[in-house]
Amino acid sequence: MDIKTVGVIGAGQMGNGIAHVFSLAGYEVRLNDISQEALDRGLETIRKNMDRQVAREKITAGERDAALGRIHVTQKLTDLGPTDLIVEAASERETIKAAIFEDIQPHLKPGTILTSNTSSISITRLASRTDRPERFMGLHFMNPVPVMKLVELIRGIATDDATYQTMLKVVDSLDKTAASSEDFPAFIVNRILLPMINEAVYTLYEGVGNVQSIDTALKLGAGHPMGPLELADFIGLDICLAVMNVLHDGLADTKYRPCPLLTKYVEAGWLGRKTGRGFYDYRGETPVPTR
């Protein structure tokens, strides 16, 4: 399968990063979102990130300009129909993702490959809602997409080998490394990472340490570049809670029970960096722990 054009659904934090790396790799990209405001924000983020790459001499100004010229934005989901590959990067809610695939399906070419950037939802279940489960895969990029080298490739029960081999080549063309995962809740990275973050929240909840001491302990004691609570704020506490719920529901093991404090923060709307407050308050010049 020859992939030349890519449709990216969602221009948010993950979607604009995915459009960024595909356009730099020479693919024609159609970027979709439900509002022009979201598309404008996404494009501005892509420009800023590419400008940063130029300043660091990772790419040339000419490569940046050519890549930006390959990105075309649209509010019409149907405009993505003629593309060779669809990458869905909408909100981490199964009902939303399933509805998107249902809406775009009548407009697709017969050979178009469908992928989801989901960090935890069953690929087999999403694929079963489409007319091409054999050409459906999980394509899970890490955040921030232009920087992180890993892409998780997840085969559903019906994914055929031609689709898998094609997506291996696509990941390689982006100068990234694929890690292949079986289709179990949260796959590999989040199956390991999110319970660690959840345990850090329990450590805070139970008063073992405060935010600063927990993050300092893991950075200096375990060599982590970011502390687990700082990382949770970066990911988004709503995403962390959603993944823990998927693990808890999908594997029926009490060790995946989301910490009540994580739930409380999400209920308060304190979702981390994107809302200005989480385990840290980002509204001043420097982040301040909220506990």
Q: Catalytic pick from 16, 23, 32, 119?
A: 119
Q: Catalytic pick from 88, 94, 152, 230?
A: 152
285: left (phi over 0), alpha (psi -120 to 50) or beta: alpha
For residue 147, which phi and psi values (nearest 5 degrees)? -100, -45
The position carrying tokens 């660690």 is 196
Q: Catalytic pick from 140, 181, 198, 230?
A: 140
Query: Which of 129, 135, 11 lies closest to 85, judged by CA?
Result: 135
Cα–Cα distance for residue pair 213/227, rounded to 1 Å: 9
Q: Catalytic pick from 49, 190, 198, 230?
A: 190
User: How many CA atoms lie within 13 Å of 75's alpha carbon, on the beta-carbon side?
Assistant: 7
Query: Which of 156, 150, 165, 125 lies closest to 138, judged by CA?
Result: 156
Q: Is the peptide bond before 144 cis (omega within 30 degrees of 0)?
A: yes
Question: What is the longest distance spanned by two Cα atoms in the chain?
Answer: 56
| Residue 237 contacts residue 262 (beta carbons within 8 Å) | yes
Cα–Cα distance for residue pair 70/189, rounded to 1 Å: 31
Query: Which of 79, 77, 86 lies closest to 7, judged by CA?
Result: 86
E strand or H helix that includes residue 212: helix 211-222
Active site residue 199: no
For residue 45, which phi and psi values (nearest 5 degrees)? -65, -45
| Length, in residues, of the chain | 291
Active site residue 140: yes
Residue 249 CB neighbours (<10 A):
10
The residue type of 47 is R
Report the C-alpha dihedral over residues 119, 252, 164, 34, rounded to 10 degrees.
-30
Active site residue 37: no
Please give the positions annotated as active site: 119, 140, 152, 190
